[in-house]
Each structure stands twice: as structure tokens, then as C-alpha cells.
């Protein structure tokens, strides 16, 4: 399956946010080093390297800046009060898998993939492409419109469901009333039959006595 840069970034941000929530972060580079007394070093981390995916203290960050390739790694200054949204905004743009120093700038509609300018020149220049930011804006607008449409449909469904529930309750009430009425009429009919029975028996008894 194609790589989803946003999901990868979001997972990395959630992991970093979870680490921040535990308190002050310790430098990942020198945490295994030992001081002259033989104790482990526990320097506070102040930056996070997106490319190395490691927390670094000021000293290790200085060495990292000296030895890394210029402009190759992205560093984030971090503190324990940052939220996931703030961290996500600070992360750099998604980089191309094939060209790690190039940002994803173009969306290829034919291949349905985001590519960098170098990939476009080499493999996608004959395809239907557009600026990835414009595509993202169009998709955002479409998603907003879909959300509004779905919200309206949900509201409509809730109204229909409410009407169905009201009709069901009304029907149940009607059934109960009808059942009560049937029972009352049946009792009246039984009483009428019983009264007529007694009347006939009395007439029969009178006729028998007079004969």
C-alpha cells in the first residue's frame, strides 16, 4: 500500500506528545553515557530531530548540528506544555520517499500520488498533475461540503426516526385503548346474555308452575 505521510507524521506526533506528557524528556543520545563517578548521564532534552527521531540536549544538539549535512535534518524546539496540534503544526512538510531533500509539491491525478518536483520531471510530466496545496484546498472544500450534506442528512434521519417513534407510540397506545374497549364490550355482551338467560329461565319456571 502507498505510504501515507500525514498518518506517519500524526503517529510520530502522538508518540512525542505521549513522551512529553510523562514529564521532562531525557536526551536519547547521551543517556547511556556515564559521568566520571560512573553514574548515567540524564541531561534534559531541549530539541527533537524529526529525521533521527531522537530527543537531544543542548550539548548533543550542538554536535549534531556540526556533523549533519547542512539542511538535511529538521529540529524542533520542544517543551512539556505543547499540545498535539501545536507539535503537528511545527513538523516540517512531508518529504519525498525517493528524494529525501525534496518536499511533496505536486499531486498526480493519474497515479493518485503526491510527488516532488524531481519525481514529476522524471516520471509524471506527461500525467495530469496539479499543485498539491490547490488539490488539498479543493479536497478540504469538498470534505466540508460533504460534512454539511451528511449533517443535514443526519438531521433529516433523526426527524424521520422521531416520527417513526411517535407513530409507534401512538399505535401502541391505540392498541391498548382498543383492547380495553373490546374487553369492556365483551363484558357487556356477556352480561346481556346472562340477563336474557335468567329471564328465559324465569319464564320457563312460571309456565311449568301454571301447568
- Compute the distance between CA of residue 171 and CA of residue 62 in angstroms, rounded to an integer: 78
Average pLDDT, the chain: 81
Q: What number of H helices and E strands is found in the chain?
A: 5, 6
Average pLDDT over residues 102-109: 86
What percent of the residues of the chain are helix, what percent strand, and what percent coil, each to the nearest 5?
A: 55, 10, 30
Whether 94 and 104 have beta carbons less than 8 Å apart is answered as yes
Element (H, E) at 130: strand 129-131
For 126-163, what is each residue's pLDDT tens digit? 999 999 889 888 988 999 999 999 999 999 999 999 99
Distance separating alpha carbons of residues 188 and 178, to the nearest angstrom? 15
Percentage of the residues of the chain whose pLDDT score is greater than 70: 80
Q: Enumerate the β-bridge partners of residue 121.
A: none
Residue 72 has pLDDT above 90, yes or no: no
User: What is the pLDDT, as a whole number, of residue 2?
Assistant: 58
For the question of whether the overall pTM of this predicted structure is more than 0.95, the answer is no
Q: Taking the C-alpha atoms of 201, 205, 207 and 211 in order, what is their torsion angle to the nearest 10 degrees?
A: 150
- Nearest to residue 128, comparing CAs of 144, 147, 112, 152? 112
Q: Which residues pair with 56 in a beta bridge?
A: 47
User: In the chain, where are the structural domains located?
Assistant: 1-92, 143-211
Indicate the pLDDT class of residue 32, thresholds 50, 70 and 90: low
Q: Quick check: 15 pLDDT over 70?
A: yes
Amino acid at each position: 500500500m502507498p505510504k501515507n505521510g500525514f498518518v506517519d507524521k500524526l503517529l510520530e506526533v502522538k508518540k512525542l506528545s505521549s513522551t512529553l506528557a510523562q514529564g521532562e524528556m531525557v536526551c536519547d543520545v547521551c543517556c547511556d553515557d556515564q559521568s566520571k563517578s560512573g553514574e548515567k548521564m540524564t541531561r534534559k532534552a531541549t530539541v527533537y530531530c524529526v529525521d533521527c527521531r531522537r530527543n537531544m540536549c543542548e550539548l548533543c544538539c550542538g554536535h549534531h548540528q556540526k556533523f549533519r549535512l547542512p539542511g538535511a535534518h529538521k529540529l524542533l524546539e520542544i517543551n512539556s506544555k505543547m499540545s498535539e496540534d501545536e507539535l503537528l503544526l511545527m513538523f516540517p512538510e512531508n518529504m519525498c520517499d525517493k528524494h529525501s531533500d525534496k518536499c511533496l509539491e505536486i499531486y498526480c491525478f493519474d497515479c493518485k500520488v503526491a510527488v516532488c518536483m524531481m519525481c514529476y520531471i522524471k516520471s509524471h510530466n506527461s500525467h495530469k498533475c496539479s499543485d498539491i496545496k490547490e488539490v488539498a484546498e479543493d479536497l478540504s472544500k469538498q470534505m466540508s461540503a460533504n460534512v454539511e450534506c451528511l449533517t443535514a442528512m443526519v438531521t433529516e434521519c433523526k426527524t424521520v426516526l422521531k416520527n417513526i417513534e411517535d407513530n409507534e407510540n401512538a399505535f401502541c397506545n391505540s392498541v391498548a385503548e382498543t383492547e380495553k374497549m373490546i374487553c369492556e364490550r365483551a363484558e357487556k355482551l356477556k352480561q346481556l346474555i346472562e340477563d336474557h338467560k335468567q329471564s328465559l329461565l324465569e319464564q320457563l319456571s312460571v309456565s311449568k308452575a301454571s301447568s
